[in-house]
Structure 1
Amino acid sequence: MGRSSSGGGKGRVTPQKVKSSSSSTVVKHLFSTKDENDGKARSLYEDAKERVIDYIQASGMKCSMVKSIRDGKSIDFNAIVPTLNAPTQTEAVARETEMAQNKILYSTKLDENMRKSAYFETNKRTVKSNIMFKFVTKDMDIKLRGEADFTSTLEDPIKLLKRIERFMKKSADAQYDFLDFWEANQKFFAMKQGTTENLMHFKERFLRQAEVLQDLYGVAWFQNFAVKTKAYAAIASTDTAAKDKFKDDIFEAVLATGFLCICN
């Protein structure tokens, strides 16, 4: 199972490091993980969010994206669809004239609302892409792409920012080795393909989490399992090359089997 690259890329913003009053290093102007932000999640999140807003305004996007980001929710254009006003005139001719004018005004406002809605949806995708490309650190990028709904729910930049904010403020308890170990195991063995998650994204997410486990356990853990399998025992004791190859390939074999078991 091959692994495609998900981080970096030409044009990615390099995290700017500044010294805090405690002489530790924090990441400035970018959305960073708890381990990177030195406990300054609130100020750093707000700072990076303002940079995103500056980018949107500088890009000349004529939409309501800035308001949505500040309010923390997308505008529901279906809830603000214009209504056709009834005429107020009582005289027949005047009433008919007023009704015709109301229809023209209604049609104009409806077309404008539909254009704004379509433009807003297009810009949501653009802003999401730019947040990932310009405003997150490598660690945050990996963390976000590891989410099952990265290609569905998190296509909405407002929801993406909320997820980023949650990650930035996540309890520092995860810095302890035992909790890291437990969390990594729990996340890997509970993995399932999301209902709206495409297969390629799930594969990348699965491989990333598997590599976390491999880093924790080391290669020996999988090889110790390999020598206890029936397949290994079936290899002739004199065929050391075949035995070594079996142990070398066990990680890929375990992953391939697991992936087939849990993908939709």
Structure 2
Amino acid sequence: MIWSVRNMAHVDFEALRGTQTVYKPGKNDSEFFKSSRQAQLDRNWENLNVKIDKREVIYTTNQYTVAAIITKHFITQAMRDKLSNETDWLDLKEDHVMLLKRIKTFMTIMHETKWQHFGLMESLKRFTNCTQKQNESVNDYRRRFEAQADQIFEILGTDVLHVYATKTMGYLDLYDPEADSDNIKALQDKFKKEVLKASAFFYNCDRSRFQSMLDKVNQTYAIEFKEYGQRNEYPTTIDQCCVAH
């Protein structure tokens, strides 16, 4: 989520409008054909602008609505207090992109008056304690969880898991002697991050609903006479977790 916010931008309506097309007549085109063709292009241009204008009005109106939903339902009171103290708070309330980028800044950059290591501990605590609430939908749980997970990896990066990951079963299975080293590293980096996220997501699920599912994969993994690949039914991505749920 944090990565997607970083690249977020407003819709460029001027780019959607493009430029008005001028008909380039053929050598044998009659004056009537040329004028008719240009008139059609002009009508198309006008119709496009009407549609884009309507979209822009709706988009502008919805910016305030989206920002209001974010501040009301998706952030803590502490974050709301921090945002409301910003000098451009009135602008933030009307611009969801600016609002999300400011929230991202507060989530990932430690304030200079706060001991960074305590900030890291607080982030780790929020990540490990991010459990699925009773009757909470999988999608809502995922949104909360990934926000915390992204914050941790934004601070620490994936290399912090390297030593641990190399000692886990399944890590060496990613090695392909015919693959180039960059591709192997990309697979291993993804493995480090995605497996940890999936495991934490699955482990912190609502046990009142999904304990039996957790018990099943634990029992299958405990069957010693089977090969690792046969007994490992744990999800390795959050997408797999959501399908399982």
Tell me which interval the TM-score lies in, with the shorter structure as reference length: 0.3 to 0.5
Give the TM-score, by structure 1 length.
0.39
Choose between structure 1 and 2: higher helix proportion: 2
Q: Name the structure, 1 or 2, with higher relative contact order (CA <8 Å, separation 6+).
A: 1
